[in-house]
Amino acid sequence: MRSSVTRAPTALLLVVGSIFATLMLLEGGLRLVGYSATPVVEPDPVRGWSLAANVPNMTNSLGLRDRERTVANPNASFRIAILGDSMAEAVQVGRAETFPAVLETALNRQGCFGARPIEVLNFAVQGYGTAQQYLTLSHQVWPFAPDVVVLAFFPGNDVRDNSHRLKGSVYLPFYTLESGQLKLDASFGNQWSYRVRTFGAKLIRHSRLAQLANQIRFNLKARLRAHTDRGVTEAAGLGEVGVDNLVFVPSPPPEWEAAWQVTEALISQMNLDARLRGVPFHLAILGTAGETHPDPAVASALAADINVSDLTYPRRRIASLGNSRGFPVVDLVTPLAQQAAEQNLCLHGEPGGAPCTGHYTAAGHKAVAAHLAAHLCGAEKVPAN
């Protein structure tokens, strides 16, 4: 009896040791063959998540989807800060092909803003709504002392992302309106599940085996989400996957109107914060693939499917907000739709996706940069309001 009791811990130690040795062998093998799948995003205690620093071919040492930058500005460059989501982060194209990078080249070539060199800093992060973009402005952008702030607003999902009820995610901060005032709910950081995710992110950062397991999990989850989203979207006749077309409805349901009001309050607060610092604030409206399809009949069909006369409601509502709050709004949807139709050119598209859908192509980013450069250069000549 004593012998069997003595052997039990020994057998358990052998099993644990064997598992550990196997894991170490796999870890060493993955490192030996050069495998690496460092996640692009990591948990962030303020914004829920942010871009990880030094991801090869993705981010710089400051965790920006940008070339290497410094917080200090020793060359006295004219700095333009871009806030946005995955449309501006643009992992679908090379860093030099993103519209912030192309915009920087175009502005320097055109000699806007005097003889000062121009830097366009890309603070965009995938999945961000206006709440996280406002927190980015408050906690990350201002130390760079920008001369202009541009919010790249994507109505296709930015309004929805500002509502806890519509977004459905629990690992991010939300704002609500109470008596007309914005109130931050950052309780996500107190959840034990978020703390577990934070610990897991640190493990993944340093272990190739954990990166492999995470990559497999991510791919399976992405396929399942895409399949589910596609089924829901097609069943509802709402067209493009990843875009909630209820944003185009002029008389939205109560939860959508509440999301719109929070969105408008956040944008107004961004503008106010910038004005208090003497920094001009601009808002650029980015279009969905349906709005800028080379065949105008696609946009007309989408409008008919959701029983609206056209898809201009978000643009009209944001333009009205800009007029009332005193900040310029540039509509990039109309000129890109015209260019796509005239050239029969898809400005949206992704590998493996349906034609003319998804995020911007390199041509789409180039078009956004060209029109945004024209707007900013023109705004330079207009006296500040």
pLDDT in tens, 128-147: 999 999 999 999 999 999 99
- Cβ neighbors of 294 (< 8 A, separation 6 or more) are 340, 341, 343, 344, 345, 346, 356
Tell me which amino acid residue 214 is: N
Closest C-alpha to 359, from 265, 311, 288: 288
- Output the pLDDT for position 232: 44
Residue 346 pLDDT > 90, yes or no?
yes
Range with the largest mean pLDDT of 14-28, 36-50, 99-113, 370-384 = 99-113
Q: Which residues pair with 284 in a beta bridge?
A: 152, 330
Do residues 314 and 267 touch, judged by C-beta distance below 8 A? no
Query: Looking at domain 41-380, does it have CATH number 1.10.3720.10?
Result: no
Helix (H) / strand (E) containing 44: strand 41-44
Residue 59 pLDDT > 90, yes or no?
yes
- Output the pLDDT for position 144: 98
- Output the pLDDT for position 227: 53
Give the C-alpha separation, 340 to 4, whole Å.
77
- Output the pLDDT for position 354: 82
Residue 33 pLDDT > 60, yes or no?
yes
- Output the pLDDT for position 191: 83
- Output the pLDDT for position 230: 47
Euclidean distance between the first and final Cα of the chain, in Å?
90
Helices (H), 191-253: 192-206, 208-236
The mean pLDDT of 5-14, rounded to a whole number, is 69
- Output the pLDDT for position 18: 74
- Output the pLDDT for position 233: 42
The mean pLDDT of 363-381, rounded to a whole number, is 90
What confidence tens digit (pLDDT) does each residue in 286-320 have? 999 999 999 999 999 999 999 999 999 999 999 99
**Residue 209 in tokens:** 């085996």
Confidence of residue 237 (pLDDT cuts 50, 70, 90): very low
Tell me which amino acid residue 2 is: R
The mean pLDDT of 15-41, rounded to a whole number, is 69
Confidence of residue 208 (pLDDT cuts 50, 70, 90): low
More confident residue, 13 or 211: 13
What DSSP string describes 47-98?
A: TEEEEPTT-TTT--TTS-SSS---SS-TT--EEEEEE-SHHHH-TTS-GGGS
Residue 253 pLDDT > 70, yes or no?
yes
Whole-angstrom CA distances from 147 to 121, 137, 332 are: 11, 13, 22
Give the C-alpha separation, 144 to 173, whole Å.
23
Whole-angstrom CA distances from 194 to 43, 125, 163, 187, 209 are: 8, 19, 19, 10, 22
